[in-house]
Structure 1
Amino acid sequence: MPTAVITGASAGFGRALAASLAERGWNLVIDARRPDRLRQLADELNRHAQVRAIAGDVGDDEHRHRVADAVAEFGSLDLLVNNASILGPSPLLPLAELAPERLTDVLRVNLVAPLALIQLSLPALTAAGGLVVNLSSDAAVAHYPGWGGYGCAKAALDHLSATLAAENPGLRWYSFDPGDMRTEMHQAAFPGEDISDRPEPESVIPALLRLIDTRPPSGRYTGTELGDAVQIPEGVSR
């Protein structure tokens, strides 16, 4: 069975993806900062797949090594999804008011941690001919008041993905922008506002599964364009 690592898996998009891959029979290594939620998810998914739940902060080097050790138990790694992110201050602040230490923390989790986990995972990914999905955002390519810290981290993550693709052409490297979703992090960006008009994370999972199934050239993809631009070959399951 294929094996995937999904960071930030205890809620939102990460949780929805973990559930979908488990239903397909994938082995999973999942991480998140909230141990109770993560343990509950692992208990649910173990009915369908083998799951290793590693609670901790992906920005911590020791924790990342624990994730890599859990992958070694399965003997291979077919997919790494760097989904864990932090928003920064809530409510969002203009860049002129964003304290340098807060920006440093956003970059540590949203940019440095994905690269560090990729570096640890690269031998296993290379052996399996795997793929890496780095969760991006439209804030990486557009400019919204208050989103500067988060957006610059995601823009740098897009650049990182493209450079890794140029350096390691034998693997697939994707920046995936799922679009606005009804998640806790999105709610934190708009405290007190009603975000019920945003789609649930589960509605975007089919687009990412299409990317995983069809393995188009490395690049930046959005959930919207995947609905039309990538054709699923005959015989490939959704």
Structure 2
Amino acid sequence: MEFQSTRGVHVTYHHTTFTPTALITGASAGLGRALTHALFDIGWHVIATARHVDRLDRLRGDHVTTVVGDVTDPAHRAELATILTANGGLDLLVNNASTLGPSPMPHLAQYPLDQLAAVYDVNVVAPLALLQLALPALRSRDGVAVNITSDAAVMPYEGWGGYGSSKAALDHLTAILAAEESDVPIYSFDPGDMRTDMHQAAFPGQDISDRPEPETVVPSLLRLIESRPPSGRYVGAQLEAEVTS
């Protein structure tokens, strides 16, 4: 079955007897919200989870199941596991929920260690926990997993030590999982700079209106999901060039 998005990107779904289902964390804002809208526009069922009930309420619709909660909370993850079991499988997991950490961002020499641990809990531990519970559901439907990363994982930007090192850990975790789970494509996806609340928090008081909207990144992420290349790390701008070529 093939779905045509309004942005001209085709997403092919290989199981004609089921509606494809995606679980997206951090779905109430930024890239998570943009991807949620794009997927339910082309016929997917989206399990959308985030902490903010008011923002999640705006996503309600026939193709969206909203689940309020914190990805670091084991009880919330158990609730998601129950939903996946009832759904009978999963076609896409997108670990999009992230935290920047303190803003303004401190240098590592002054970084509060309890806040650093909290960043790692959201950006590294929670994605692994969700993958652990979702892998059986993904295997059952020939599904795909995507961890949202950042160029801060590979570039040593001053002040980005907490967030950047957590995303570097997520990248390596993703690569090792891909080596261990050869039957499930697992990707790191770097969307590049976007005009989001989190990016604004990284630059308090500055104008970030020159950054692209998250919706502009969605076609390259859909391209990754549809084309199913070998597991690895992919950059949105490079995939975008393929979409527009």
TM-score in same-fold range (> 0.5): yes
Asked if the contact 1:52/1:70 (under 8 Å) is kept, the reply is: no
Change (3 A) 1:25 1:226: same
Name segments (4+ residues, structure 1) moved above 2 Å: 227-232
Is this contact kept in 1: 2:103–2:204, CA < 8 A?
Answer: yes
Alignment of 1:102 with 2:115, yes or no, is yes
Match of 2:220 in 1: 207
Q: TM-score, normalised by structure 1?
A: 0.93
Q: CA RMSD in A?
A: 1.3
Distance, in Å, in 2 between the alignment partners of 1:9 and 1:34 is 10
C-alpha distance in structure 2 between counterparts of 1:106 and 1:14, whole Å? 18
Match among 168, 186, 189 for residue 173 of structure 1:
186
CA contact (8 A) 2:187 2:234 kept: yes
Which residue does 1:160 correspond to in 2? 173
Deviation at 1:231, TM superposition (A): 9.7
Provide the C-alpha distance between the structure 2 equivalents of 1:163 and 1:228, rounded to a whole number of angstroms: 28
How far apart in 2 are the matches of 1:73 and 1:12? 28
**AA aligned opposite 1:88:** G
State the alpha-carbon separation in 2 of the partners of residues 98 and 60 from structure 1. 24
Cα shift at 1:127: 1.1
Q: How does 1:1-238 map to 2 (within 5 A)?
A: 1-42=19-60, 46-47=61-62, 49=63, 51-228=64-241
The answer to whether the 8 Å contact 2:220/2:243 transfers is no
Gaps in structure 1 of 5+ consecutive residues: 233-238
Q: More deviation in 179-188 or 219-228? A: 219-228
1:56-114 CA distances to partner (integer Å, 9 max, x unpaired)? 11011111111121222321101000000000001111011111100000000000000
Query: Could you tell me whether the CA contact under 8 Å between 1:216 and 1:230 is conserved in 2?
Result: no
* TM-score in terms of structure 2 length: 0.90
Q: What letter corresponds to residue 235 of structure 2 in structure 1?
A: T
Q: Distance in 1 between matches of 2:102 and 2:46?
A: 31
Is the Cα–Cα contact under 8 Å of residues 12 and 201 in structure 1 kept in the other structure? Answer: yes
Counterpart code for 1:2: P
- Conservation of the 8 A alpha-carbon contact between 1:87 and 1:185: yes
Q: After TM superposition, give the deviation of residue 177 of structure 1 in Å.
A: 0.2
Q: Distance in 1 between matches of 2:170 and 2:243?
A: 23
Equivalent AA in structure 2 for residue 38 of structure 1:
L
**Length, aligned pairs only:** 227
Residue by residue over 1:156-194, the C-alpha shift from the partner in whole angstroms, topping out at 9 and shown as x without a partner, is 100011111100111101000000000000000011100
Percentage of identical aligned residues? 59
1:227 Cα deviation from its structure 2 partner? 2.3
Equivalent pair of 2:219/2:243 in contact (CA under 8 Å): no
For structure 2, list consecutive stretches of 5 or more residues without a partner in the other structure: 1-18
Question: How many angstroms apart in 1 are the aligned matches of 2:241 and 2:194?
Answer: 20
Distance in 2 between the 1:231 and 1:214 partners? 15
Q: Identify the residue that residue 236 of structure 1 maps to in structure 2.
A: none
